[in-house]
């Protein structure tokens, strides 16, 4: 078989061009630069797979750099979770670095800028500064403090650093051009006073550099060859270039910034600020709620690292904004679990079924194949007895010809077991069926041996033996939002679109006894119902399952019908 070479994405093409123009391959170096102010989500996975993927393709180092310039929102908990998630996804960073490690260098460079007349201290409030910014069509106006002498600026900046001024009273600004068509070039703020402890530098600093001043310089200090970021930074590139021009030494590598489109997912919000709101307002159980688009939420839901990497790969890297269908993510986890998850039986909404001609007290062990898609998965035994549970919706007293499951007077096969026929029912005072009485065909046992019955009937249903089944909790999830793009409606809060039925808890489901040894995180298929995994809330007394995904895309069908 000939190996098909996958086509290069546009960023790989840029790198290939740089190499062909003489860039030494050993100079290639990438980074993933999260701000430790939230948990990573499936959008970040795109950037992680891109940067670490390039590292693998070109055998180049990839740094994990925390862009930690804002002590107000950043925490060690986020640093730890980000590291754990990247490792879980299967990637290794070269160095673990922090922008805060460069605070001194950044400060020294700022002093240099002041000396060169390229930065000044502004005594105005942030709203005064905003009022002078102008608009995209009108130039801004100069601050009255713009032409201070270098000496005065140096003295004031020093005082800012020493904590002599209150927050909000002074900022350091770059002196660029108040009439630039790029608003970001209109004397952007480089430092603000913040008397907050930082998760790494503690109380050392009373001033903190702005993200824009920090980001490009950090790439430069780390010799990053290709600084890949999302499209919203396209306008910032001019500013990063200007900052770099002020400090750049010709003998060094100059990082090249290129932008790609964010990963957006339908029926999902991806902004960390909004995800934090869901957590803080208790609308989900935490950052790792299985309905969250976070890596930790997906992991808890039963997604595997490979499914997320495959999804990122197949969704690709785009130049323009777009929305990826959530169904693509679900496709990848189904595709993987189809081959790897053992197939077992579980009944979510049980109704009792009694086989009247099966001897009372008799038990037999039937043989069941673990996964026909995986030759090595082998077989297991399943206890069978007179009283079983089947799924309520698999039985009807009367039904039309298209109903191939169990109905009165008709036959159906019990998966891995016998053919049964429904004869009568018992009902409660509300008319609900409580017991189905059946008889079985003794000669209809399924299996692959010579005694196996070849008799075929139209329907097959799943079941568990009532005396042997394990009672457990099952959590079924639906999309967290009812709208395709919950945060795209002007004037309507995204939380208006929260799906009130996104979680259904079934507290009395039954699963076959082979699951007694299941471990937290294990993935299984409940036949006919979907892929499930063992939730971390499980205890020795009580198993809790999450439905990772249904077997087929039931939404696609519903939407077609409408």
Could you list the active site residues?
35, 262, 272
The one among 106, 156, 229, 412 contacting ligand ATP by CB under 6 A: 229
Q: Using CA atoms, how far apart are residues 369 and 380, in angstroms rounded to an integer?
A: 6
Residue 5-44 contact track with ligand ATP, rule CB under 6 A, x = bound: ----------------------------xxx-------xx
Integer-rounded Cα Rg, in Å, for the chain is: 31
Measure the CA–CA gap between 15 and 23, rounded to whole angstroms. Answer: 9
Q: Quick check: 97 binds ligand ATP (CB under 6 A)?
A: no
**For the chain, first and last CA: distance in Å?**
44
Q: How many CB atoms neighbour CB 422 within 10 A?
A: 21
C-beta of residue 160 within 8 angstroms of C-beta of residue 172: yes
> How many chain residues bind ligand ATP (CB under 6 A)?
15
Closest to ligand ATP by CB, 241 or 443: 241
Determine phi and psi for 44, rounding to 5 degrees.
Answer: -60, -35
For residue 232, the minimal CB distance to ligand ATP (Å) is 8
Question: How far is Cα 342 from Cα 534, in angstroms, rounded to an integer?
Answer: 13
Site for ligand ATP in 361-390 (CB under 6 A): none
C-beta of 33 vs 140, nearer to ligand ATP: 33
- Select the residue interacting with ligand ATP from 23, 129, 270, 328 (CB under 6 A): 270
Measured from the CB of residue 153, what is the shortest distance to ligand ATP in angstroms? 31
Shortest distance in whole angstroms from residue 47 CB to ligand ATP: 4
Among 230, 246, 338, 367, the residue binding ligand ATP under the rule CB under 6 A is 230
Instruction: Using CB under 6 A, pick the residue from 11, 15, 47, 358 that binds ligand ATP.
Output: 47
Nearest CB to ligand ATP, comparing residues 148 and 262: 262
CB burial readout 458-487, b (16+ within 10 A) else e: eebbbbbbbebbbebbbbbbbbbbebebbb
Please name the residue that has the structure tokens 């039954």.
Answer: 510
Q: What is the DSSP letter of 481?
A: B
User: Encoding tokens for residue 103?
Assistant: 């605070």
In sequence order, what DSSP letters do the residues of 322-351 get, joined into one string? Answer: -EE-HHHHHHHHHHHHHHHSPEE-EESSEE
Instruction: For ligand ATP, give the closer residue by CB, 38 or 140.
Output: 38
The footprint of ligand ATP on residues 302-321 (CB under 6 A) is none
Task: Rule CB under 6 A: choose which of 11, 28, 46, 353 binds ligand ATP.
Answer: 46
CA distance 129 to 142: 9
Pick from 243, 280, 276: which is nearest to 78 by CA?
Answer: 276
* CB closer to ligand ATP, 28 vs 64: 64
What is the rounded distance in angstroms from the CA atom of residue 446 to the CA atom of residue 449? 9
* 369 Rama class: left (phi>0) / alpha (psi -120 to 50) / beta: beta
H helices of 33-102, in order, are: 42-58, 76-89
Q: Would you say 294 or 371 has its CB closer to ligand ATP? A: 294
Residue of 118, 148, 263, 309 interacting with ligand ATP (CB under 6 A): 263
Residue nearest to ligand ATP (CB): 43
Reduced to 3 states (helix: H, G, I; strand: E, B; else coil), residue 386 is: coil
Which CB atom, from 76 or from 179, has the smaller least distance to ligand ATP? Answer: 76
Q: How far is the CB of 262 from ligand ATP (least distance, A)?
A: 4
Min dist CB 195 to ligand ATP, Å, is 23
Query: Which region, judged by CB under 6 A, interacts with ligand ATP, from 234-242, 265-273, 361-369, 434-442?
Result: 265-273
One of 116, 271, 357, 424 touching ligand ATP (CB under 6 A): 271
Task: Report the site for ligand ATP in 496-555 (rule: CB under 6 A).
Answer: none
* Contacting residues toward ligand ATP, per CB under 6 A: 33-35, 43-44, 46-47, 229-230, 262-263, 270-273
């Amino acid at each position: 078989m000939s190996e098909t070479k996958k086509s290069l994405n546009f960023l790989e093409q840029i790198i290939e061009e740089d190499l062909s123009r003489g860039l030494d391959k050993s100079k290639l170096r990438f980074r993933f630069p999260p701000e430790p102010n939230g948990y990573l989500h499936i959008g970040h996975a795109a950037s992680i797979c891109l940067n670490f993927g390039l590292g693998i393709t070109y055998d180049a180092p990839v740094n994990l750099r925390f862009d930690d310039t804002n002590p107000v929102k950043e925490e060690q908990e986020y640093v730890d979770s980000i590291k754990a998630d990247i490792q879980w996804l299967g990637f290794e960073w070269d160095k673990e670095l922090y922008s805060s490690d460069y605070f001194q260098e950044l400060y020294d460079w700022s002093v240099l800028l002041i000396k060169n007349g390229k930065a000044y201290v502004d005594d105005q409030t942030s709203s005064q500064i905003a009022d002078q910014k102008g608009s995209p069509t009108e130039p801004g106006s100069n601050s009255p403090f713009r032409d201070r002498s270098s000496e005065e600026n140096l003295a004031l900046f020093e005082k800012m650093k020493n904590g002599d001024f209150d927050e909000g009273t002074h900022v350091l600004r770059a002196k660029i051009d108040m009439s630039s068509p790029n608003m970001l070039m209109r004397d952007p703020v480089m430092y603000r006073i913040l008397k907050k402890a930082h998760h790494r530098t503690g109380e050392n600093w009373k001033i903190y550099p702005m993200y824009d001043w920090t980001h490009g310089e950090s790439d430069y200090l780390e010799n990053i060859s290709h600084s890949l970021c999302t499209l919203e930074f396209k306008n910032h590139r001019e500013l990063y270039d200007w900052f770099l021009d002020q400090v750049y030494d010709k003998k060094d590598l100059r990082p090249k910034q290129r932008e790609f489109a964010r990963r957006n997912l339908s029926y999902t919000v991806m902004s960390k600020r909004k995800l934090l709101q869901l957590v803080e307002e208790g609308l989900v159980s935490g950052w790792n709620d299985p309905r969250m688009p976070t890596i930790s939420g997906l992991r808890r839901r039963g997604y595997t690292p490979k499914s997320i990497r495959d999804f990122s790969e197949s969704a690709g890297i785009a130049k323009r904004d777009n929305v990826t269908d959530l169904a693509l993510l679900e496709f990848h986890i189904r595709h993987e679990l189809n081959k790897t998850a053992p197939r077992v039986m579980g009944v979510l909404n049980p109704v009792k079924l009694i086989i009247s001609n099966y001897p009372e007290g008799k038990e037999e062990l039937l043989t069941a194949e673990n996964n026909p898609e995986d030759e090595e998965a082998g077989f297991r035994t399943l206890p069978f007895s007179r009283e079983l549970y089947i799924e309520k919706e698999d039985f009807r007293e009367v039904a039309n010809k298209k109903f191939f499951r169990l109905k009165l007077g008709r036959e159906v096969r019990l998966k891995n077991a016998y053919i049964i026929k429904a004869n009568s029912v018992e009902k409660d005072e509300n008319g609900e069926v409580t017991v189905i009485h059946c008889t079985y065909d003794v000669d209809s046992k399924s299996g692959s041996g010579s005694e196996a019955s070849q008799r075929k009937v139209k329907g097959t249903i799943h079941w568990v033996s009532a005396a042997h089944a394990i009672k457990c909790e099952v959590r079924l999830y639906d999309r967290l939002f009812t709208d395709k793009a919950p945060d795209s409606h002007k004037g309507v809060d995204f939380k208006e679109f929260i799906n009130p039925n996104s979680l259904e808890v079934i507290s009395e489901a039954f699963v076959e006894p082979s699951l007694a040894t299941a471990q937290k995180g294990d993935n299984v298929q409940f036949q006919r119902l979907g892929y499930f995994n063992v939730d971390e809330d499980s205890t020795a007394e009580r198993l809790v399952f999450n439905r990772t995904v249904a077997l087929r895309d039931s939404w696609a069908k519903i939407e077609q019908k409408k």
